Amino acid sequence: MDDEGPKWRLDTGLSTCQQAACKRNKTKIGKGELRIGTHTLFDNGIERRWYMAWRHWECATKHQIAGLKETTENDPTKAPGYDRLSQKSQEQVRLAFEEGMPFDKGFKDIREDLAKTSCKYAKEYRDAECYKADVATRAAACRGCDCVSDNIKITKGHLRLGILVNFDGDHTSTYYKHWRCMSEYDLACAQMCYEKGEFYGIDKIPEELKEVVLKTLETGEVVEPPEPKIVPPKARAKPKLKTSRSKKTKVKPEPSISSEESEGPLEDLSDELQETIPPSPATKPKAKKSKAKRRPAKEIDSSSEAEPEYIPRKSRSRSSPFKEANVLAEAATSAPEDLMDD
């Protein structure tokens, strides 16, 4: 087993149950429900990492209970996560230690209020390549145990420790912690990197934070950094809209004419205009069209009865032969006889 954490752990939280039947049916552990976790190694030949495999408390095996009893010297109060459980859940753990297996299979003590503050397992990064000191430019997750459990983030301006971890042989990922959340293992590794000249970022931070970093690495004790000075952002003035002003054109004033001088020429002009404009011909009023009155239906019927009825002529029928056609037929028959006589 790796030294990154305890083999078994008790907790309340939302996760997938790794028991065969629950996993097949995709049954999840409810938020705030008692669960037991086993620290398991994942190794597929390409990636190798440790993770916590959780089960319902009712799905716990005798092997898990026996392992808890062995690691805690048969004292349930020493089980990892025991102090964060409710009193009912603690009683179930105590009974399981006595029986060697979960006592009540139908036990459901769902405490969502405890799940919000449940302690999550924060591992130590033991495969770090190097470390650096950095000032957060924006909010980032802290990998410290207390901050992970309370979901506290590193805010802008705070001093933080950067842990560079290789994940595929060619690239590295950086995990951050508050400077105050640095563990003893992190501090020891950071001191070794500082002695080798592989601790980066010291020259890029302010002087007051630089003193904190150097004092921490030289003395071996984590120095609390000062709180950053938060400067409120300046309110930006709204940009003024540019209004296009049209250039004013200067109009030259016309020379003023006195009333005495203007009377004579104006009168002459008006007389000339009246002479040149021909008089408009007088328009005759248009005669109004008189609308024809409609005759009543009775008058129309009476007038139509007096008229003689129209009878069309009979057309010639082909059944009665034409007289001219008979004459022509007789002439045609008599013509050959005359020729024979000749």
pLDDT the model gives residue 245: 58
pLDDT the model gives residue 144: 83
What beta strand segments (E) does the chain contain? Answer: 8-12, 15-16, 28-29, 34-43, 48-56, 128-135, 140-141, 153-154, 159-166, 172-178, 199-200
Query: Exposed, middle or buried by CB within 10 Å (0-12, 13-18, 19+), for 59?
Result: buried
pLDDT one-digit tens code per residue, 19-31: 889 988 888 888 8
Q: Who has greater pLDDT, 125 or 202?
A: 202
Over range 47-55, report the average pLDDT: 80
- Mean pLDDT of the residues in the chain: 75
Most confident of 10-19, 191-200, 260-269: 191-200
State percent of the chain over pLDDT 70: 61
